[in-house]
Amino acid sequence: MSAKERFLKKLQDKQPGRNVFENRAQADIAEFQQQMSQLQENMETWLTGTGIQTQSTSVSLVELLIGGKTFSIPGIQLQYENRMVKFTPVFLYGQGVTGCVEASLCGEGIPTSLCRLFMRSTEQNHWTWRPAGWSTQPGGVFSEDVFFNMIEGLLS
């Protein structure tokens, strides 16, 4: 977690009228929503001046581990000419992580999975990633450098 993220979290914790959740799942859903919005803000900052457009989408998820409840999580789309990279939330809980997002490149009508991002895992409390199709292969911390390597396919 960066110094800015720690500062903002502490500031948020001190705010009066902070949300009180009935259970851990509600808190995790709210955090997933907030972290996706923050991720989009980071991407917009990283992409300033590139001509790549960002757009927020809404994705409905059904989480069986919390009684089959449906909730909405923001998704992210990056558009450049006729190609797009989509960041689509796929689940809240699973595989030792909380908050999973599939990143895929869409061009020529066929989506290609790039990687998965994880909001929180048993080892890390910030965005991490793993390459697509290699769930056991380590990825690492999701950073600006990783982001630009990932979206390079927009230019092909």
Q: Lowest-pLDDT range, 31-40, 59-68, 141-150?
A: 59-68
pLDDT at 109 over 70: yes
For 47-70, what is each residue's pLDDT tens digit?
Answer: 999 999 999 999 998 887 777 788
**Residue 49 exposed, middle or buried by CB count within 10 Å (0-12, 13-18, 19+):** exposed
Give the angle 59-62-68 at the CA atoms, nearest 5°: 160
- Cβ pair 56, 63 in contact under 8 A: no
Specify the higher pLDDT residue, 125 or 113: 113
Q: Is the pLDDT of residue 86 over 90?
A: yes
* Residue % of the chain over a pLDDT of 90: 51
Lowest-confidence segment of 46-50, 88-92, 111-115, 129-133 by average pLDDT: 129-133
In this prediction, residues 88-93 reach a mean pLDDT of 93
What order do you get walking across the sheet with 53-63 strand by strand? 53-63, 69-80, 83-94, 97-107, 110-121, 128-131, 140-141
